Amino acid sequence: MCVTQLRDYPGEAGSIGAGRDFVAALVVTLLDPRGWAVADDAALLVSELVTSAVEASCRHVEVRAAVHVDAMEITVIGRGPGDPSTSASAASAGTVPPLRARLLDGLAGDVRLHREPDGTLVGAARLPCRRSWTAGVPCERSGLDP
């Protein structure tokens, strides 16, 4: 249940804007207009997480957005990394540079970026939503489908 959408992008700079637009459009489509401000925060989160994957030389980036009655969960998965030893980026090590970390923490209380043992870079964030904004979203967390 809930609403989950997924998009795949190449690991290149143009994917940052594409991921941002995808998530913003999803929020505006699903949420009551009173909740549309979440679109800005979600777009910025996706932008920063996709940027981390691109900086880490990931060749493929997956953006997944799940809208529940009480939150929006965003996951960015970067696969096919280049040689991590050739990148000075902190993202290649699976960490967030300090300025980006402060920005992400200011938007969402629960933001993670780590590298899996197979080299996959995973970034995830959770944005709270008010139930009045998500009244039209069928979600298992609501107990009842609207």
Per-residue pLDDT tens over the stretch 69-120:
888 899 999 998 654 443 434 444 445 566 666 666 666 667 788 888 888 9
Q: Quick check: is 40 in a domain?
A: yes
Q: Quick check: is 140 in a domain?
A: no
Stated pTM of the model? 0.80
pLDDT at 34 over 70: yes
Q: What is the pLDDT of residue 140?
A: 65
Quote the CA–CA distance of 118 and 4 in Å, as a whole number.
25
Residues 6+ apart with CB under 8 A from 91: 51, 52, 53, 55, 56, 97, 113, 121
The tally of domains found in the chain comes to 1
Q: What is the pLDDT of residue 83?
A: 43
SS3 state of residue 131? coil
Give the residue-averaged pLDDT of 129-135.
82
Quote the CA–CA distance of 90 and 133 in Å, as a whole number.
36
Q: Quick check: is 141 in a domain?
A: no
Concatenated DSSP letters of 42-101: HHHHHHHHHHHHHHTTEEEEEEEEEE-SSEEEEEEEEEEE--GGG---GGGGT---HHHH
Per-residue pLDDT tens over the stretch 45-75:
899 899 989 988 899 999 999 988 888 899 9
22 pLDDT band, cuts 50/70/90, is very high
21 pLDDT band, cuts 50/70/90, is very high
- Please report, for the domain that includes residue 66, its CATH number: 3.30.565.10
pLDDT at 24 over 90: yes
Q: What is the pLDDT of residue 11?
A: 95
Q: What is the pLDDT of residue 5?
A: 93
More confident: 143 or 134 = 134
**Domain residues for 23?**
3-134
Q: Quick check: is 91 in a domain?
A: yes
